[in-house]
Amino acid sequence: MQITVKRAEQLKPHPPEDKLGFGINFTDHMLNLDYDTASGWHSPRIEPYAPIVMDPSTMVLHYGQAVFEGLKAYRTQGGEIQLFRARDNIARLNRSCRALCIPELDPDFLMTSLKELLRLEQAWVPGAPQTSLYIRPTVIATDNFLGVRASDTYRYFVILSPVGAYYAEGFNPIKIWVTRRHVRAVRGGLGEAKTPANYAASLYAGEDAHKHGYTQVLWLDGVEQKYVEEVGSMNIFFVIDDEILTPALNGSILPGITRDSVLQLARHWGLKAAERDITIDEVMQAHSDGKLQEVFGSGTAAVISPVGELKYDDQQITIGQGRVGPVAQRLFDAITAIQYGKGDDPLGWVEKIN
Ligand code: COI
């Protein structure tokens, strides 16, 4: 498929790199692609970043048939632009599409078109430490119809946003609230798909957590509310008795690419790392026994995010004296070194855009 390019007549000023925040500013161009049953995915085009004008009956607005991804482009010290495990994000986008009855997209074409968009927008990839260009590929259902069924037409689009740290805390420990009052997802539902419904389901508890001074919610399983699942904006890891543990993927947890990178790197270094069911009681008990050494989250937006405090019912525990632990620090240093081209890439995760 030939990608048409229409350049913006006026380019936007770039925000200062020390004040990027997360997901606030957007670049000059976006990528669009449409689907209908007669033509399949067609008409790829890079166009000026612009609002999507929709009929009020557009299906995505009513039934949430949509999926998205989050990945980043990084500027190396030499000024080159590179992607981290982008093909894994594309594979996950297609898995999410399957879960939401959305027609899959050709992975090679998604990669080619993303690189073309990034080459056009490369001046937007910031160079200051810990900044990057966040990439948000999205698919939405576009039929104008109010019956409940899968849409026959879709729009795929990619927007780009220069970003700094996701959490205001940066790489400092955050405080997490473990909730039993709400659930994010249940097995057999949409929990492992990257779809807006999971984020909508997290808002009420998230607001509650904020009111009590906590940054994020740690979700328990939706059936027994006994097993730890994930944080919504990231996966969760515990270091207990020198072993790195994360909940096994069970259908209701997002299969994070940074999560997988943590597991692969830890094993590459010869550390003990396991995926298994972990109860919240086991975590609290490990803390009482003095064996809970670290807790941290992993995600594209969050990278590695240390957790300094957990609150569960009336128990409030401080982890590692509220400081960044050695495993989280080592992982953060290694993953960011790979992403920014400052260190070895032993597992072949980066790809340049040129
Ligand atoms: C990501 O880590 O890319 C996410 O999508 C998490 C959040 C910003 C929605």
Q: Where residue 273 sits, what CATH number does that domain have?
A: 3.20.10.10
> Would you say residue 352 lies in a domain?
no
Examine residue 254 and state whether it is found in any structural domain, yes or no: yes
Q: Which residue, of 138, 163, 188, is where some domain finishes?
A: 163
Residues 203 and 303 in one domain: yes
User: Directed axis angle between helix 86-99 and helix 107-120, to 10°?
Assistant: 130
Percent of the chain topping pLDDT 70: 100
Contact 252, 185 (CB under 8 A): yes
Determine the average pLDDT of the residues in 277-287: 97
Whether 233 is in the pocket of ligand 1, judged by its Cβ within 6 Å, is: yes
Q: How far apart are the first and last CA of the chain?
A: 19
The answer to whether residue 351 is domain-embedded is: no
Q: Copy the structure tokens of residue 311.
A: 């609150």
Nearest CA to ligand 1 atom 9: 233
Give the ligand 1 atom nearest the CA of 72: 3
**pLDDT per residue as tens digits for the range 94-147:** 999 999 999 999 999 999 999 999 999 999 999 999 999 999 999 999 999 999
The pLDDT assigned to 309 comes to: 96
- Specify whether 213 is located in the same domain as 275: yes
Same domain, 329 and 187: yes
Mean pLDDT value of segment 3-25 = 96
Q: Is the pLDDT of residue 51 over 90?
A: yes
- Is residue 345 a part of any domain in this protein? no
140 shares its domain with 32? yes
Do the beta carbons of residue 61 and residue 125 sit within 8 Å?
A: no
* Pair 119, 57 in one domain: yes
Q: Nearest-CA neighbor of 158 among 124, 201, 199? A: 124
- C-alpha dihedral over 25, 31, 34, 39, to 10 degrees? -170
The residue segments making up the domain with residue 187 are 174-339
pLDDT band, very low/low/confident/very high, at 41 (cuts 50, 70, 90): very high
Q: Is there a contact between 280 and 226 (Cβ–Cβ < 8 Å)?
A: yes
Question: Does residue 354 fall inside a structural domain?
Answer: no
77 pLDDT exceeds 90? yes
The residue out of 163, 184, 205 marking a domain boundary is 163
- Domain annotation covers residue 11: yes
Q: Are residues 274 and 179 in the same domain?
A: yes
Same structural domain for residues 50 and 144? yes
Q: Write the Ramachandran bin of 85: left for phi over 0, alpha for psi from -120 to 50, otherwise beta.
A: left
Whether 137 is in the pocket of ligand 1, judged by its Cβ within 6 Å, is no
Mean pLDDT over residues 146-165, rounded? 97
Tell me, yes or no, whether 255 and 327 share the same domain: yes
d(CA 242, CA 212): 31
Give the atom of ligand 1 at the shortest distance from the alpha carbon of 256: 2
Between residues 133 and 354, which one has the greater pLDDT? Answer: 133
Task: Name the residue of 68, 132, 166 whose CB sits within 8 Å of the most ligand 1 atoms, as the mutation to test its pocket.
Answer: 166
At residue 170, does pLDDT exceed 90? Answer: no
If pLDDT is split at 50, 70 and 90, which confidence band does 302 have? confident
Q: Does residue 18 register a pLDDT over 90? A: yes
Same domain flag for 82 and 184: no
Whether residue 244 is predicted with pLDDT greater than 90 in this model: the reply is yes
Please state the atom number of ligand 1 nearest to the C-alpha of residue 23: 8
Q: Could you tell me if 124 and 188 lie in one domain?
A: no
Indicate the burial class of 78 (C-beta count within 10 angstroms; 0-12, 13-18, 19 or more): exposed
Average pLDDT value for the chain: 96
The domain that holds 27 is classified in CATH as 3.30.470.10
Q: Do 117 and 31 reside in the same domain of the chain? A: yes
**Total of domains in the chain:** 2
Cα(299) to ligand 1 centroid in Å equals 7
The neighbour count for residue 5, using CB atoms within 10 Å, is: 13
Question: So what's the pLDDT on residue 124?
Answer: 98
Distance 123 CA to ligand 1 centre (A): 23
pTM: 0.96
Of the three residues 163, 195, 230, the one that is the final residue of a domain is 163
pLDDT band at 282 (very low <50, low <70, confident <90, very high): very high
- Name the residue at shortest CA distance from atom 3 of ligand 1: 70
Residue at 131 is within a domain: yes
Question: Given pLDDT bands bounded at 50, 70 and 90, which one contains residue 354?
Answer: confident
Residues 251 and 156 in one domain: no
